[in-house]
Every structure is written in C-alpha cells, then in structure tokens.
Amino acid sequence: MNTIKYRIEATRPEAHLFTVSLTVDSPDPQGQAFSLPVWIPGSYLIREFAKNIVSIRAHSAGRDVTLNKVDKNRWEAAAVQGALTLEYTVYAFDLSVRHAYLDDQRGFFNGTSVFLAVEGQSHLPCDVEIAPPKGAQFADWRVATSLQTAGAPAYGFGHYSAADYDELIDHPVELGAFTLLQFEACGVPHDFVLAGRFRHLDEARLLHDCKAICETQIRMFGEPAPFDRYVFMTVVTPDGYGGLEHRASTALVVTRDDLPRLGETTQKDGYRKYLGLISHEYFHSWNVKRIKPAAFAPYAHDRESLTRLLWVFEGITSYYDDLLLLRAGVIHTDSYLELLGQTISGVISQPGRLVQTLAESSFDTWIKYYRQDENSPNSGISYYTKGALAGLCLDLHIRNETHGKHSLDDVMLALWQRYGRDFHEGAKRGQGIGEDEFESIAEDVTGLNLRTFFDLAVRSTQDLPLQSLLASAGIDWQQRAPSHGGDKGKWLDSIPVAPAWLGWRTSQDAAGAKVSHVLEGSPAQAAGISAGDLIIAVDGLRVTHTSLEGHVSQFKAGDTVTLAGFRRDELRTWLVTLADAPHTLVALKQSDRAKENADSVWPAV
C-alpha cells in the first residue's frame, strides 16, 4: 500500500525552525492539494497554524513544481508524473501544549502544526522520520512520543508510523534531554517525561500517585486499557498550567513549585491541582478521544466542529477528575469537598450563569469561552465548571432515584461499551454519539425519565439543585460572602459580617488599580465604572492594586464613596454606593450523621 512519507528535522533551533519534507508516491494526476488544520482537537479555537509556515516549495524528479497557495491553509501543486515532494519550514516558538516549540534546550510539536495533510489520501498510512538537530551539543537529545516505532530505537530518532493522518496528528512529540520515569498501570507501560528545569523531584511519590490514578480509571471502564502504552509529557515552567489530551498521551504544562519535592510530607494545593490535571487528561482517553460526539467523528480540520455536548466531554470529565483522585486514595474526603466547594463558588459568583445554558456554552465555545474578554463573566458560564456540577447532580439524582442501584459510572460504562470500546481507529471510522444520545442512553441505563433533569441542567439557566442533592448524600453546605479577596471558602464556625462590595475585579497597574471586569448588577456598574478604568484614589486617598481592598474595607454597605481615576486619558470621578458582598462562597463538609455511617456515603463510592 502507498505510504505518505514525512521527515521532520530540528534544523535551526536558534531560529526556532523545523524543516519538514513530505513525499506522495501517487499524487492526484489533476494536481495535488495539501492543507494544514486550522485548530487542534481538544482546544476549540481557530488558531491558523499555517501562519507559521515560513517557506514552502514542491519538486518532483529533481525539478521544481509550481505550488499555488489557494486558501489560508491550502496549497495546490501542478500535475506531475511520479512522486511529488514538498519541503517547508515551520516556525515553532509557542510554549503551550497546542502548538510547536524549538530552541537549543528542547523541541516539541503537535502534528497539527507541522504535518500537511495530503488531500484525498489522508486515509493512507504515514511514515515519519524524526531527525535530530546537528551539532555535538544535541548529542544527548532523545525522542518521547506515543507514535508507533517503525525502526526507531526506544526513545531514539528514526522512523515512526501512523495508520492514517488523524492518528499522525494525535501523537505529539517531545525532543531533548528530558527526564524519563516509567511505571506500569494494570500491566500497561506508562512513560512520564519531564522537560525544563527543576530540582529534588520526589519521583517515587509522583509515580505512586499517577499509577493509582491510572489504575483506578482503567478499572472503572474495565480492562484492557484502550492503548498499549501511554506517555505523559510535562514541561516545567515558572508559572504555567494546562494540558491537552491525545489518544495515547497527553501534553502538560506545570508550574515548577507545584511538583512534589523530596522531603515534603503534606500535599500542597499546587500538587493536588497537578494531579487533578493528570487525572483529567487521562480520563479523556475514554471520554472524548474514543467516546466522542458525532461532530468529532471525524474532526473537521478546516473549520469549527460544533456540538452542544462539550459539557459531557469536558464537564463530566471535570467531575470525574477530582472524584477519581479521591477514589484512587491520593486525596482525602475533606480535600475533595474543599475542591468541590471551590468549583461551586466559582459558578455561583459568575453572573453569566443566569444568561447562558450549558448547551449554549458548549456550542459557542469557539467564539466565547475560548475568547474571554472583559464581559465574559457577565455573558457566559464555563461548561467545565458548571458541566462538572451538572455531572455531580446527575450522579446524585441517579443514585437517589434508583436507591443506589445505579450511578453515573453505569452511564459512562454503557457509553464506553456502545461507542468507545469497539471504536477501531484507522481501520473503521468510529461513530460518535448524536446530540440527543447522551440523554437517551442515560435514561436507558438507569430506567429513569431524565427529561426534566436535563431540561433544567443543560437547557435552562436556573441554578442546579446542588444543596438539596448534596444534603441527600450526607454533605452539609455553608454559604456566605467572601471575607476578603483571597478567601478560598473554608468552613467557618462563626460567619463574619459580609464586607462592603463594589462588584469588580482589578489588576496591578504601575499607576493604580486597573479594573479588569465589572460584574452585572454591581455597585461599580451602577456608578458607571468600566473595565479598563484606572482607579487612583478612594475617598481622596491614593490607592494601589494592593492597598485598594484595605481602603474599601473601611466602609460599610450603604456608604457612598468617591473614586477617582482615568478612562483612557480622561480624569473621572465616580460616586459609588457600596452594597453587601453577595453570598458566593460555598464550603462543604460531611455531616456528623454521614461520618458515623461512613460505608454508605457518597463520594467515597
């Protein structure tokens, strides 16, 4: 069978340039078209990767072939007899998990950034030769990827293969002198690759926790795992965070201080967050990479793939990411309830929850969630956080209505069995689930009529029945106003008086406090303050971003305060009548009754 041959070389690390060649043995006799995806699956924003193609040419049998650019991301080569080769350079200097990166320390690429698709031949198998940069200083570079080897030694440069183009672009590649750790989960080899600078990593702790998370998830869906091996790729940065899921690997960005250090005995919040990210991306191996919406089967690489179901694929994944940390035994119930309380508080404090439904948030993510602006808190709600809470409510509702016979696990397992497990990538194009099918399968599996539940949770902006459902699960609820800006919502024995409130968010600016967001219905909005305004004085006293909260805390609800500042270069004053801070913080704890009766209590089961 014909094979599409790619070769990628880190030719000029100092200029952040990869050189790629692509050979098609049997190009379209009418002239061959090539294209690059405009987005990367898992990150729902048009990113126009073709902007980083710096130069490109085509040749055949030693002669140049005319290559026309016919769209922002498409090229057409003139008709030739015999094999056709493209050669192009790609600029790679984006540290995120969604693009490509190359310097003298490391390289990373997603296929969506570097591999052009051969139109009409994207079903063909691909051979990829990954070549090292030239020079003695790169002698210790290795390769980490979940691509199948086609002759390359383990972690070495050389040839790799993919069954088709979709598979080719779903295995990112890390290059460099990285740290490689290994473990097995349910007998499946897992690599844990860390790039970037860090010291005194507690490797044993990281591997122990990862293994527990992976085994818990594999067992939830049932062995065998849906991959022969799995690769975690982490780049360590001063302040980054993020992840992107792939079918047998994930690319992660972590903040250096969040890694577990030797000698640390407690679990810092940052490490817990990192474990949550690991759990989230790994869960996607089932939920979105194999159980997927019909709109993603296959992905449309040249335009938005629209679905109202992202709350299922991101929200329910977000529900399970922390819950599975608890089930895996890497966090305790109190820690889980603290995380859940933070998620609830985040949703409740967002006025946009009263404007946008989960279905709308999913569908519009391309133009709204992924394009946050100063009005986003007022106009939308995250299908991650509210979707996680809808997953929680669905789980508890099913448990209550079936008297513990069923749970959301049964729904996920049924989805896996019907739409995931038999999904043979490459050989047979898998079917995705239709826009109504998540709900109908949930009804089938549980025997419940869930229409009213889904109408409320997914297609309305009414608040979810969290408090009553959590009470039924033995969880007590405390709702109060934040007592200060950094209040994370711990359970308090006595609730302080709500502080005076403006209803804005501000950030540091050299000259004062910059207003970044003004919340719908807030005193700041009523007074005419806008995002972008620079606040320099409160009641005649100069303020900075740091001192602002202290100045405002001198006042009580009902007080009228004069603020001074600038809109663009125009000096302004605003008279603001302060209000009581709304009760947007929720803290949770197990009820005493539930603690005594621990074996029957969600969320441990």
Contact residues: Zn ion, CB under 5 A:
314
- Encoding tokens for residue 462? 């009414």
Quote the least distance from Cβ 182 to Zn ion, whole Å: 25
Nearer to Zn ion, 314 or 439 (CB): 314
- Encoding tokens for residue 596? 């005594």
DSSP alpha helices (H): ranges in 527-600? Answer: 545-552, 592-596
Nearer to Zn ion, 280 or 589 (CB): 280
Quote the least distance from Cβ 547 to Zn ion, whole Å: 38
- Encoding tokens for residue 14? 């100092």
Nearer to Zn ion, 39 or 574 (CB): 39
Nearer to Zn ion, 242 or 465 (CB): 242
Nearer to Zn ion, 128 or 388 (CB): 388
Is 130 exposed, middle or buried, given 0-12, 13-18 or 19+ CB atoms closer than 10 A? buried
Quote the least distance from Cβ 284 to Zn ion, whole Å: 6
**Which residue has its beta carbon closest to Zn ion?**
314
Quote the least distance from Cβ 251 to Zn ion, whole Å: 12
Q: Cα-flanking dihedrals φ and ψ of residue 410, to 5°?
A: -65, -35
Quote the least distance from Cβ 24 to Zn ion, whole Å: 34
Show Cβ contacts of residue 590 under 8 Å, excluding neighbours closer than 6 positions: 333, 334, 337, 474, 475, 476, 601
Given a contact cutoff of 8 angstroms between Cβ atoms, the answer to whether 125 and 4 are in contact is yes
Nearer to Zn ion, 167 or 314 (CB): 314
Which amino acid does the sequence have at 410?
A: D
Nearer to Zn ion, 323 or 518 (CB): 323
Give the three-class secondary structure for 588.
Answer: strand
Quote the least distance from Cβ 194 to Zn ion, whole Å: 21
Given a contact cutoff of 8 angstroms between Cβ atoms, the answer to whether 35 and 117 are in contact is yes
Task: Please list the residues that pair with 542 across neighbouring strands.
Answer: 537
- Encoding tokens for residue 298? 């296959």
Quote the least distance from Cβ 317 to Zn ion, whole Å: 5
Quote the least distance from Cβ 468 to Zn ion, whole Å: 28
Characterize 74-87 residue by residue with b for buried, 16 or more Cβ atoms within 10 angstroms of its Cβ, and e for exposed: bbbbbebeeebbbe
Nearer to Zn ion, 390 or 576 (CB): 390
Structure letter (DSSP) for residue 503:
-
Taking each helix axis from N to C end, the angle separating 437-446 and 408-415, rounded to the nearest 10 degrees, works out to 120
Query: How many Cα atoms occupy the beta-carbon half-sphere of 262 within 13 Å?
Result: 6
